Amino acid sequence: MSDFIIHVTIMSGLYALLALSLNLQAGLGGLMNFGQIALFACGTYGAAIAFHFDFGAVSGFVLAVLAAALLGWAFASVGRNLQADYWGIVTLALAEVIRIIATNEDWLTGGAQGIGGIPPLYAGLDGQTRQLVILATVLLLVLAAGLFCRHLIGGRYGLSIKIMREEPQLAASLGYDTIALKRQLMAVSSVLAAVSGFLFAHYVSFVGPEQIDSSETFLIWAMIVVGGLGNNAGAIVGAFLLQFTFAFIPFVKDWIGLPSEYVAAGRLLLTGGGLIAFILFRQSGIVPERVGGRRYV
Amino acid sequence: MFQFLVDVLMRACDLMLVAIGMSAVYSLMKFPNIALVQYAATGGILAIVLQKIGAPVAVAIVFAVVLTGLVAVILNEFLFNRMLKIGSSTAMIGSLAVSLVFSAAFLVTVGPNPSRFRLPVSKPIRILDARITEPQLVSFAIVAVALGVFALLYFRTDLGRCMRATSTNEVLADATGINTARMKTIIVLISGVMAALGGVAIALKGEVDIQIGMDLLLPVFASAILGGLGNPFGAVAGALLISLVETVVTTINFGPLMGQVVVFLPVAYASAISFLLLVAALLWRPRGLFVSEVKRV
């Protein structure tokens, strides 16, 4: 049982990194990115392709981060003069194109079978200890990412992003280059998503196109809306809350004695229902965004 | 050659009605309603289920379409109207959440296996070298009639005039005594009915599974945006263009270009190409292909 809890905590941590990344884009910058999973895919496929062609894990990491930063930059450039909802559709479409390419280019990505046998993290350690060390690594990374995001939001840069979100024309009139701001924000937050993807690939040792389905993006969206859009702690809380709830759906199903379709349906229902309930009844989420207050500019 | 045209037309019929619904609802509500593709799935699946229970095909279709229209109105009244007060981006995320709940409901009620209408098997008719089956003709007729009726309603009746007035300038329409709230309810009802009919038209031609809604999402968005979101009849042209590109890409033999005998793109790339077309359209003609108004700076 404790193994299971450790596994779920590691997964929650990886999703927390993704949620922090999306929170920077959507919560702080107001960018409706529906292609978040494509940035994660840069991380997973970076690791997998480096393993597949024997480049070594370090170059895999470099590849993952570079690809994600580039894609984030491209997302921001594509959306430079689009409205938020149009941009959301574009990112969704681009993420889907990337998934289709990953499914069909067998020589590069292993196609629909994916790439398996990626060496696990800390290969020298044995089972239980390894899990604990991975857990510690992931939790430390989440903490570091959280502090980094706090630093970013609290500082001058965060204020400029917020003014771009609330009053883009005012921001432009004050001399802020809003397109450059968007590009930087996307590139920085993409790196977080890539780190999550890289660790994920080495943790589960398998990378396939079904892991980067658009429904995963919607799940990350549900995490940050439930947790509280614009608040870093909220993103982490949302990720852990949803992952742990999902982990216990199968037990509830067995306990009530329902067929196994209900597990998938339960996940969808929780994601969708959670989003609707929080939008309607508690728009600020569990941990609301702090407006004003102490800053260290 | 004629077979090629028929293929394009059949694919366009799949997308057209849902795209019109999406465009029409955008013209008044000012947010892209993702749940619309799930209304299409509901229409198709509900009609099949009703036929299984024992209703004649025509009765099943009418019931399914009317019920879906009512569901659309109810959801709009209780969810989307309230979300729109917060903002159009929020309403878009909300409509995404609603479509996740729809997916969960389908999974629980009909299960993951595809289903189809029980229709007598008929021999395909040959028209100018092209094979056309009877259900294909019926489905084409449904789309054509729905299109004609909607065009009449939109351009020739007082109701349509009021709708167009509301979509052009809501405040002015309100001031001239048009009940804009009622217009919105009516357009939502129409969009639900159109989407459901689109779903029925797809179901008549073959199998329908619960993924159909999400599979429709991006091609429908692409059609609606190419035609200029908010311009229902632009969506018809958009759907034709998208299906033309999809069909061309999958039926052209790239062999001679690459120095080989036969090289076909994988079928999966058909949708990738149409998504890229969508991205290109948004980059260069973000307000659609048919908008000629000069934007004032």
Share of chain A above pLDDT 70, in %: 98
**Please, what is the average pLDDT of chain B?**
87
Rounded Cα distance between A21 and A270, Å, is 22
Q: Model confidence over A85-98: pLDDT tens digits?
A: 788 888 998 999 99
Give the pLDDT band (50/70/90) at residue A79. Answer: confident
Q: Which of A38-47, A81-90, A186-195, B166-175 has the lowest mean pLDDT?
A: A81-90
Q: For the complex shown, is ipTM > 0.85?
A: yes
A247-257 per-position pLDDT tens digit: 988 888 888 88
| Length, in residues, of chain A | 297
Residue B291: band (very low, low, confident or very high) from pLDDT cuts 50, 70, 90: low
- For residue B294, name the pLDDT band (cuts at 50, 70, 90): very low
Question: Looking at the DSSP assignment, which residues form a beta bridge with residue B38?
Answer: none
The residue-averaged pLDDT of A207-215 equals 90
DSSP assignment of B191-217: HHHHHHHHHHHHHHHS-B-TTHHHHHH
Angle made by CA atoms A73, A74, A77, in degrees to the nearest 5: 90
H-assigned helices in chain A: 2-22, 36-52, 57-78, 84-104, 106-109, 127-154, 156-166, 168-173, 178-204, 214-227, 232-256, 261-281
| Residue B275 predicted with pLDDT over 70 | yes
- With an 8 Å Cβ cutoff, the interface of chain B facing chain A consists of 31-32, 79, 82-83, 86, 88-90, 92-94, 96-105, 107-108, 111-112, 214, 217-218, 221-222, 225, 266, 268-269, 271-272, 275-276, 278-279, 282-283, 286
| Phi, psi (degrees; rounded to nearest 5) at B257 | -70, -35
In angstroms, the separation between the Cα of residue A135 and the nearest Cα of chain B is 31
Confidence check: pLDDT of B65 > 50: yes
Q: What is the pLDDT of residue B173?
A: 92
Write out chain A residues lying below 8 Å of B32, CB-based: 85, 89
pLDDT band at A154 (very low <50, low <70, confident <90, very high): confident
Q: Nearest CA to A283 among B73, B75, B30, B94?
A: B94
Q: Cβ A268–B107 below 8 Å, yes or no?
A: yes
- Residue by residue, DSSP assigns B46-58 as HHHHHHHHT--HH
For the beta carbon of residue A240, count every other beta carbon within 10 angstroms.
Answer: 21
Q: How far apart are CA A198 and CA A207, in angstroms?
A: 10
DSSP one-letter code for B115: B
Among the partner residues B99, B102, B276, nearest to A97 by beta-carbon distance: B276
Mean pLDDT of B107-119: 86
Which of A139-148, B105-114, B187-196 has the lowest average pLDDT? B105-114
Cα–Cα distance measured from residue A283 to residue A32, given in angstroms and rounded to the nearest whole number: 16
Asked whether B139 and B204 are in contact (CB, 8 A), the reply is yes
Specify the DSSP class assigned to residue A283. Answer: T
List all residues 6 or more positions away from A53 whose beta carbon is below 8 Å from its beta carbon: none
Rg over alpha carbons for chain A, rounded to the nearest Å, is 19
- Give mean pLDDT, residues A43-71: 93
Instruction: Give the per-residue pLDDT at A297.
Output: 42
DSSP state of A25: I
Distance of CA A279 to the CA centre of its chain: 20
User: Of A120-129, A187-196, A268-277, B285-294, where does mean pLDDT reach its minimum?
Assistant: B285-294
Measure the CA–CA gap between B248 and B8, rounded to whole angstroms: 9
pLDDT beyond 70 at A176:
yes
Find all residues with CB under 8 Å of B59, minimum gap 6, and list them: B50
* Least CB–CB distance from B278: residue in A32, A93, A268: A93
What residues of chain A lie within 8 A of the CB of B97, using their CB? 222, 271-276, 279
Q: What distance separates the 2 farthest-apart alpha carbons in chain B?
A: 67
Looking at residue B80, the DSSP 8-state letter turns out to be I
Residues B275 and B218 sit within 8 Å (Cβ to Cβ): yes
